[in-house]
Amino acid sequence: MEHRLTETISLLARTPAALNALLRDLPEIWTLRNEGEKTWSAFDVIGHLIHGERTDWMPRAKRILESGESRPFDPFDRWAQEQESLGQSLEQLLDEFVRLRWENLNELRGLNLTEQDMERRGRHPALGIVTLSQLLSTWAVHDLTHLHQISRLMAYQYRNTVGPWGAYLGVLQCAGHSA
């Protein structure tokens, strides 16, 4: 489990740089377009990831360590970025995501979590009892689910330009899988 935390942190440390390398200074067709009404652009996703750094992952980890099951996590606002990203450029958001993730991983490493800590339990407002290990694993897979989404929504912009090759391109068959 200690080893798994190392693997989790390794991934969490790389996704901001990967998204920065992919998205910075890209033409707006790739970064500002979405998949239709009530869907997100890459710009929206980075805002969502920033809100998670501020209010979700480390605050919930500390809630588990401080209060256990007695005090549920605060609910997460999936649409907070609509207001928070207003007036910002994608490049500003990418910088902010890099900075917040860096700070959060420094704080996480500083907790010196033990294998026993990883089994400590907290209460999710909808899912019920969860462990610190599950929370930190989810933080990493949450990065991946949004990388999956970004690759899909970017591909969507070229859905008509690839012609007959569309049949071979799995990403164009993906309609998303969110609950």
Residues at the contact surface with its own copies, assessed by CB under 8 A: 4, 6-7, 10-11, 14-15, 17-23, 26-27, 29-30, 124, 127-128, 130-131, 133-135, 137-138, 140-142, 144-145, 147-149, 151-152, 154-155, 158, 161-165, 167-174, 176-179
Q: How far is the CB of 84 from its own copies (least distance, A)?
A: 21
Q: Considering Cα of 132, then 137, then 139, then 142, what sign does the dihedral take?
A: negative
Residues facing 128 on adjacent strands? 124
Q: Work out the burial of residue 110: count CB atoms within 10 Å of its CB; fewer than 13 is exposed, 13-18 middle, 19 or more buried.
A: exposed
Residues, the chain: 179
Choice between 87 and 164, CB closer to its own copies? 164
Residue 158: CA count within 13 A, CB half-sphere: 12
**Minimum CB–partner distance for residue 35 and its own copies (Å):** 13
C-alpha–C-alpha distance, residues 156 and 38, integer Å: 15
Judged by CB, which is closer to its own copies: 14, or 99? 14
Residue closer to its own copies, measured from CB, 87 or 163: 163
Distance, CA of 97 to CA of 70 (rounded, Å) = 31
Least CB distance to its own copies at residue 160 (A): 9
In the complex, least distance from residue 174 CB atom to its own copies, rounded to whole angstroms: 5
DSSP H helix total and E strand total for the chain: 9, 2
Q: Under a CB-based contact definition with an 8 Å cutoff, are residues 124 and 114 in contact? A: no
Q: Cβ 27 to its own copies, closest distance in Å? A: 5
Cβ-based nearer residue to its own copies, 86 or 179: 179
The residue (of 86 and 97) whose beta carbon lies closer to its own copies is 97
